[in-house]
């Protein structure tokens, strides 16, 4: 778990990690999981789609 107490800090770290390692599936999956758990379906769907392209 990246930053369990602070969702926004976790998202900031994941955005940084994704810009450094754009093809890393684990980073993409963590971003998708955060959006899915927050019930942001449009963003989660886009991230899920991007993982499998």
The reported pLDDT for the residue numbered 9 is 83
Where along the chain do its domains lie? 7-51
pLDDT in tens, 14-44: 899 999 999 899 999 999 998 898 899 999 9
* Whole-structure pTM value: 0.78
pLDDT for res 8:
83
Count how many Cα atoms sit within 13 Å of the Cα of residue 50 in the half-sphere of its side chain.
Answer: 18
Q: Residue 32: CB partners within 8 Å, gap ≥ 6? A: 44, 47, 48, 51
Q: Which residue has the higher pLDDT, 3 or 33?
A: 33
Residue 2 has pLDDT above 70, yes or no: no
């Amino acid at each position: 778990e990246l930053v369990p107490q602070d969702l926004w800090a976790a998202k900031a770290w994941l955005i940084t990690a994704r810009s450094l390692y754009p093809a890393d599936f684990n980073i993409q999956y963590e971003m998708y999981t955060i959006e899915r758990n927050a019930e942001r379906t449009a963003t989660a769907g886009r991230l899920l789609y991007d993982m499998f392209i």
